[in-house]
Structures are given as C-alpha cells and as structure tokens.
Amino acid sequence: MVDQPTGPAATPPPPPGRTDLRGRLAALGRRTRSGAAGLTIVVLATALISTAFGLGAMGRADEMSDGAAWLWNSPAGELARVNGNNAEVDLVTSLPDSKGGAVEVTQNDEYLLLHDPATGKVTSVDLREMGFSGALDLGRSGDFGVVLGKHTAVVIDRLGGEIKAVDPATLQPTGASLEIPGPLVGGAFDNSDTLWLGVPTQGTAVGVRVEGKDAAIARTVSVSDPGADLGLTVLDEGALAVDRGGDRIVAVDGAGDARVLDAPVKLKDADMPPRTRGDLAAVTVPGKGRVVTVSDPAGSAEVASFAIDPDGAGTAVAYEGRVYVPFADDGRVRVFQADGTELNPISLPGAKGPIELEAREGHLFINSPDTGVAAVVDPSGQANLVDKTDPPPGDGEGRGGGAPASGTPEPSAPPQTQPPGGLPATQAPPQPGGVPSTEQPGGGEAPTPRPGTGQESETPTNPPAGDDDEDEGDGGGGRGGDETDEPESTDAPGAPTPVSATAGDGSVTLSWPEAYSPDAPVESYEITWEGGSRTVGGSELSAEITELTNGTAYRFRVRAVNRYGTGPAAQTQEVTPGPEAPGAPANVTAEATGSDTATVSWDAVEGAADYQVTASSGSGSAVPAPRTTNSASAEITGLEPGGSYTFTVVARAEGGVSGEPASSQEITMPQQQLGAPASVSWQASGDTVTVSWDAVEGAAEYRVVPGGDGAAALQEATATGTSHTYQPRGAGRCYSFTVTALGADGTAAESGTTSQASCVREFN
C-alpha cells in the first residue's frame, strides 16, 4: 500500500483457466520455498519448471541481471531477486544458517556476496553458473567490508587498515595485502572501478585500483586535517568527504582533483550512504534535523540544505534528483525534492525494524529486511510494492492491482501524515503496482481505492509475509504472529560450501564441509558432473572420482539431501585431470600469529601454479575452509583460540593436477586475551572533543571513560570503531580519557589505556 493511490482500477479477472494454473504454481512455489533451500527459479514455462528442483538444470548463464537487485528476507532466511522493471521476484536463494539474522548483500551482474556479521561467514554465489562457489570466515569481531567492482572483489578490514583483493568466485586472495593506516571509513567502487576510502588519521581520501592480482593506491587526496572525524560516500566518479567536526565538504573527482565546499550547518555525526549514484548527493545531519545536498559535485557543486524531522530519521539517499529519508518506526520513506519540497511518502505495510535503501541498476530499491515487504522506485518517482515471499511469476503478467499511473506526475494534496505547515507535494504518489495479490480468501478481488480519492484501507487485505498480525504461515518460511502456532520447519539442507577439488591422473578428489541441516540429519550427498554422477553417505565429506579423461575440464556440484529434500548446489571451479603432477612442498612450517590466525610457509615447488592449504584439528576445534594461494605462504584465519591444528599443503599444476601432500608440525593457538590500546589521544576542534585510540585484536567494542574537570559534563561511552566524539557542555576545560577493550560477550580487558591529561581554555 502506498499513500494516496492514484493508479488504475483493479486488474481485470484472468482469462478462464488462468486462475487455476496460477494457483497451482503458487502452491508449487510455496512447497519449493519450504522444502528446498537454495537458488530456485519458479516459472510458468513447462520446460523450465523442473529447474525449481535442481540448480544444474538452470543453465550456465544468467540473462536477467540487468535492472535487478537481491533483497534479504530475514524471517525466511531467503534472498529474493527483484526485477526493477516490473517490481516482481524472478529468483530466490536461501541461506538457512542465517535465517532470523542480518545479512549484508553485495552484488553485481556476475556475483552475489553474502556476509553474515553474526557468524563472520561470507558466501559467494556465481550467478553465471548459478551455484554457491566460495566461502570466507572473517570472524565475529572487527569491522569488515566485502565490496564488488565490475570484475573484482576486495575485503576491507576497516579497523586494521588492510585491503585484500580476492577472487569473487572462490573468495581466495589473489595477491598481497595493501596496508593503509587504520581505521578506514567508507569503501565502494566508482564507475571507473576505483575503490575509494577515507583515512581519518591522515586526513585523506585514497583511490585504490586492483590491477592484475594486487590492490594498489592510485590516488591520495587531502580532504581534512589529520585526525578529523571523516565521513565518505563514493560518487559515480570520485568521492565526497565530510569533516564531522566542522562544516567542510570536499568533492573529489575521478582524477583526484579536490574542491572544498562550505556546508550551511555543522556536520556533527553526519551520515551518508556508502555509494551515491547520479548528480545529487545527500548528507544527513541528525543532530541538526537537516539534510545537506550537493548538486553536481564534479561541476557547479551547489550546496543547499533543508529541514527534516530528526526523530527516527535514517540515512538519506539521493536518487534521480530527489532525496529519500527512511523512518523505520513509521514503516515509511519520506520523499523530498532537492529544495526541500516534500512529496508523498512511500509506505511499507507491515514493515518492522530497519529500512534499507540502495540505488542501483537505474532504480531505487527499498527493503525491510526483517519482513517480506519491499518497494522499487523508478526514475520518474513511481513506487511499486514487492512481496519478497511471493512465488516468482513467469507468464509476463503482473500480479494484480498495480500498474503504475500513466501520464506525467501532477501536484497533489499533501499526505495526511504531513506535519502542519509542511510544503505541498508536487509528485504523483507512488502506486502499489508490486502488491503481490488482491485476491481475498473467499475469492474475488479485494477493494481497491478509486483513482484519485486518496482512500486507504487501515490494514492491507493481503499483506506481504512478515506482517505478523495477518500472516497465516503458509509462505516465506511459515512464520506466524503466534510463535506457538508456527509450523515445524521442514527445510532441506544448505549448500556444502566450499567444495575443494584436486586433480590426479584420470581422477579428481573432492572435499566439502558438513552441510547446514538443523531440521534433519543429512542422509547423503549427491555429486554430479558432465557425464556422470555419484552419491555418498551423509557422514562422508570427500570422494574420489575416477575414470575421468585427462585434459578435459570438469566442474563438480555437490548437494546435500535430508528427509525433507535436496539442497542447493555447491560447486568447484573447473579442474582438469592430467598425468604430470608437481612434487611435494618441503619444509612446511606453521606459526600462530594471533589467537585465531596462523601463518603457514613452505618451499616453492617447480611447476606449481598454486597451492592448497588445508587445516585439520586433533582437538576437535573448528576448521576453516581450505585456502588457495599462488605464493609460498598463506595466512589462515578463523582458527579457534586454544585449538590444536596441523596444516597440509598440496602443490597444483595448471588445471588443478595435484602432487603429494606435505604437513606441518602441530601447533596450539593461544587463548584470546584482550590487551589495552597502544595509545589513546584526544583533540579539540570547534565545540567538539574527539578521542582516538589504536585497535585491539579481538575487541568487539571499546569503553571510553572521561576524566579531568570536564568529565562532569560528559558520560561514559561505548564505541565499535577506534574514535568517539564528544560535544562538551559545562565549564570544565581539562580532560583525559581511558579506553578499555571489550570482547564480543561484553567482558572487559584487564586494563585500559589513559590519554595524557591536558587543558584547553576555549572551544570556539
């Protein structure tokens, strides 16, 4: 439902016979979603219906990426790919082990990267081959970003100041790490495939390029004084940086040329989206209740601002000359022109929790990740709702009720929820074109507001799943408003990602981790490849495939099966058997370099194209996924503090032909003990005091305790990064600050670090 609908009347009844067909396919879609996790496509074409039951039949190329975005549905543990052109779901993928949690989605037309911060796991989906292809463990603490360019991917450790180029399919590093003084802010690629980040300790913005296999700094631009509290959004060409301690905005173009702009308000706690598309950028200043806009940052760079209700306002996103501000508590997005004129808002019925906005593929995608509702806005400002739990249609027909209003948008009366004295809307309100169904339980069509009347029903007749008060529990994972009535989960297993492959003479050896299957034990694993298949028991996590043809490239897919169905495929990269294998690595050694990190080294092997490093644990500790590298050493992360590990290295020739393995000595990881920050400092600027400190390994948060006579006006604070800004109120002018590291469970380190005490006479 969208405020003040002005769209056409309800969709006419379907032709005879269509309703039953759509009903049967809707039921098929519901059964597929509840019984088979994974990338699943449900379409009306008979020849393709079988693809709902196996990824191998989905084809080798994804032809529907343009204009689409993947949106997370937390209660269902699913991602739905929404076609921006018709606001319909055309593909679905499940991530059952992240069900009920938050997942950060990074996407381009070839890959989908899914980061679960609660577990630290990153999963890669190869959209060209339609299979889960890689996994990476970043750990539960820290501040990491996984970013995709056009053809490259990088992992950013913002606290540690490390940037690493990775293969987007396997998530394996492709080269050496790039070290930049941390902490870092922002991180996104512009249209020229330059990754821009802010470096507050240096007062710079840096542009990073991935050339070949390595990431390297291509641009360094001064944008503030060193130590300033920086914010950054990446533009189509270049970046826009703001000094949160002052009023300075710096526009950096793609060539690295900077232009300094003055904001009309102080930018304390200013926030921006990681990526801004188009010629209008928005900076949200919540404390001032204002949005600062920069029009044409690379050209005329005109700065303006307008007021918003600061209560509950999220980060504003600019799109096609308008500014969209989410208000999660209200379940709506308020819309403004660049001059502050408010237009009709976009309401998300049943939305709860955060509201995410992202401009991509020529559209603005609005998502309520904690429910099944979303919306798509087109360049004209027309908004259509999306039910992420609806089975994907495929007959080219809309799902009823919702074609966008035709003609040029005209001014309309302000929405009823507009504050008194607000400016009138000048945009035709968005339409509920993406509402999945207007069919009532008893048959027939639900009442639809008459065009132009501005009438709305109090509660949506058929709200998207996730509206707990109305959901009957038969779709989107079977959620209901009453937990006691929630049906038993009957999910198929997840994908056993990643699958590793080593080739031999006419053979390939596969290995994979145990598939996630909380609802029933895994009964078997199905292995398929072009020209063959094999099934092994549910307790087996490896298989040797023999009688293969040397010199022929193979790609293997592994699916887990439990009593409820067959899960999605995890796949290998192409591997080619052959008779000539490299030798075994010599002098394999391992050394713990942290409580959860070890470095494994060995002598290079002649004829080796790369090396595969596999960890095993005699203590039963968690084991990370195998690591592939083309150098003679590897850093292995995701180890368990206190666990014992042995590392096995195998050299591989071109095509994956593998030599004999060689193993390291067993090492025991140290128990994790939080230390104290190496240094703590503070700096006064204007009417603010910013405290900065060095990162502590393993810290999830930091506690900041003020001291000195100025402490009476300040409060103890907790920060996830390595800085915190105060705005003093009071007569005291002498300060010191003690910073203590906190673990993920809130346990504090035994000691903290205190800054030097000093006094400042005035803050101006």
Encode pLDDT of 579-622 as tens digits: 888 999 999 999 998 888 899 999 999 989 999 999 999 888 88
pTM above 0.75, yes or no: no
Point out which residues pair with 144 in neighbouring strands: 157
Point out which residues pair with 334 in neighbouring strands: 325
Whether 597 and 636 have beta carbons less than 8 Å apart is answered as: yes
One domain for residues 607 and 631: yes
Would 338 be classed as within a structural domain? no
Local confidence band at 392 (pLDDT 50, 70, 90 cut-offs)? low
Q: Which residue has the tokens 């290995």?
A: 511
**In the chain, what percentage of residues exceed pLDDT 70?**
78
Would 519 be classed as within a structural domain? yes
Cα–Cα distance measured from residue 343 to residue 286, given in angstroms and rounded to the nearest whole number: 20
Question: Between the CA of residue 582 and those of 586, 636, 663, what are the distances in Å?
Answer: 12, 23, 16
pLDDT at 474 > cutoff 50: no
Local confidence band at 467 (pLDDT 50, 70, 90 cut-offs)? very low
Instruction: Compute how many other C-beta atoms are within 10 angstroms of the C-beta atom of residue 687.
Output: 15
Average pLDDT over residues 704-717: 87
Local confidence band at 744 (pLDDT 50, 70, 90 cut-offs)? confident
One domain for residues 599 and 631: yes
Q: Looking at residue 622, which CATH number applies to its domain?
A: 2.60.40.10
Residues contacting 606, CB < 8 A, separation 6+ = 582, 583
Looking at residue 454, what is its pLDDT? 35
Q: Looking at residue 221, which CATH number applies to its domain?
A: 2.130.10.10
Looking at residue 165, what is its pLDDT? 93
Would 483 be classed as within a structural domain? no
Least reliable range by pLDDT among 30-39, 60-69, 567-576: 30-39
Would 48 be classed as within a structural domain? no
More reliable by pLDDT, 47 or 522 = 522
Residues contacting 264, CB < 8 A, separation 6+ = 247, 292, 303, 304, 305
Domain count within the chain: 4
Local confidence band at 488 (pLDDT 50, 70, 90 cut-offs)? low
Whether 251 and 238 have beta carbons less than 8 Å apart is answered as: yes
Cα–Cα distance measured from residue 243 to residue 266, given in angstroms and rounded to the nearest whole number: 9
One domain for residues 611 and 541: no
Looking at residue 294, what is its pLDDT? 96
Average pLDDT over residues 456-468: 37
**In the chain, what percentage of residues exceed pLDDT 90?**
51
One domain for residues 616 and 560: no
Cα–Cα distance measured from residue 579 to residue 576, given in angstroms and rounded to the nearest whole number: 10
Neighbouring C-alpha atoms within 13 Å toward the C-beta of 133: 21
Question: Between the CA of residue 679 and those of 485, 743, 753, 757, what are the distances in Å?
Answer: 54, 19, 7, 13
Helix (H) or strand (E) holding 27: helix 18-35
3-state secondary structure of 241: strand
Q: Which residue has the tokens 């393709």?
A: 48
3-state secondary structure of 543: strand
One domain for residues 730 and 695: yes
Residue 206 structure tokens? 């840096």
* Terminal C-alpha separation, the chain: 49
Looking at residue 604, what is its pLDDT? 94
Looking at residue 728, what is its pLDDT? 81
pLDDT at 378 > cutoff 70: yes
One domain for residues 223 and 244: yes
Whether 575 and 503 have beta carbons less than 8 Å apart is answered as: yes
The bridge status of strand 322-327 relative to strand 317-319 is: antiparallel
Looking at residue 518, what is its pLDDT? 85
Looking at residue 588, what is its pLDDT? 97
Domain boundary at 286, 307, 328, which?
Answer: 307
Would 203 be classed as within a structural domain? yes
Looking at residue 732, what is its pLDDT? 64
More reliable by pLDDT, 526 or 631 = 526
Phi, psi of 712 (to 5 degrees): -60, -25
Least reliable range by pLDDT among 118-132, 279-293, 455-469, 480-494: 455-469
One domain for residues 550 and 600: no
Cα–Cα distance measured from residue 597 to residue 507, given in angstroms and rounded to the nearest whole number: 33
Residues contacting 255, CB < 8 A, separation 6+ = 219, 238
pLDDT at 570 > cutoff 70: yes
Looking at residue 13, what is its pLDDT? 34
Domain boundary at 307, 335, 364, which?
Answer: 307
Cα–Cα distance measured from residue 105 to residue 126, given in angstroms and rounded to the nearest whole number: 14
Local confidence band at 713 (pLDDT 50, 70, 90 cut-offs)? confident
Looking at residue 632, what is its pLDDT? 93
Amino acid making up residue 564:
Y
Looking at residue 159, what is its pLDDT? 86
Domain boundary at 612, 640, 668, which?
Answer: 668
Looking at residue 243, what is its pLDDT? 93
Residues contacting 273, CB < 8 A, separation 6+ = 233, 282, 315, 317, 357, 358
Looking at residue 450, what is its pLDDT? 28
The bridge status of strand 214-222 relative to strand 204-211 is: antiparallel
Cα–Cα distance measured from residue 111 to residue 751, given in angstroms and rounded to the nearest whole number: 44
Cα–Cα distance measured from residue 583 to residue 661, given in angstroms and rounded to the nearest whole number: 9
Looking at residue 731, what is its pLDDT? 62
Average pLDDT over residues 448-472: 36
The secondary structure of residue 268, as a DSSP letter, is: T
Helix (H) or strand (E) holding 32: helix 18-35
Looking at residue 451, what is its pLDDT? 29
Convert the pLDDT of each residue in 293-305 to its tens digit: 999 998 889 999 9
3-state secondary structure of 109: coil
Would 25 be classed as within a structural domain? no
Residue 41 structure tokens? 């496509």
Domain that holds residue 741: 680-759
Nearest to 395 by CA among 139, 53, 90: 90
One domain for residues 209 and 303: yes
3-state secondary structure of 68: strand
Positive or negative, the CA dihedral 425, 427, 433, 438 is positive
Cα–Cα distance measured from residue 753 to residue 740, given in angstroms and rounded to the nearest whole number: 7
One domain for residues 652 and 710: no
One domain for residues 641 and 704: no
Cα–Cα distance measured from residue 629 to residue 617, given in angstroms and rounded to the nearest whole number: 21
- Average pLDDT value over all residues in the chain: 79
Cα–Cα distance measured from residue 632 to residue 649, given in angstroms and rounded to the nearest whole number: 10
Looking at residue 373, what is its pLDDT? 96
Residues contacting 482, CB < 8 A, separation 6+ = none
Cα–Cα distance measured from residue 381 to residue 405, given in angstroms and rounded to the nearest whole number: 11
The secondary structure of residue 53, as a DSSP letter, is: G
Looking at residue 761, what is its pLDDT? 52
One domain for residues 248 and 290: yes
Least reliable range by pLDDT among 140-144, 333-337, 387-391, 678-682: 140-144
Instruction: Compute how many other C-beta atoms are within 10 angstroms of the C-beta atom of residue 202.
Output: 18
Would 4 be classed as within a structural domain? no
Looking at residue 710, what is its pLDDT? 80
Whether 405 and 454 have beta carbons less than 8 Å apart is answered as: no
Local confidence band at 480 (pLDDT 50, 70, 90 cut-offs)? very low
One domain for residues 299 and 218: yes
Convert the pLDDT of each residue in 423-445 to its tens digit: 233 333 333 333 333 333 333 33
Whether 93 and 568 have beta carbons less than 8 Å apart is answered as: yes
Nearest to 195 by CA among 149, 252, 243: 149
- 3-state SS record for 155-202: EEECCCCEEEEECCCCCCECCCCEECCCCCEEEEECCCCCEEEEECCC
Local confidence band at 213 (pLDDT 50, 70, 90 cut-offs)? confident
Would 488 be classed as within a structural domain? no
Amino acid making up residue 656:
G
Looking at residue 730, what is its pLDDT? 64
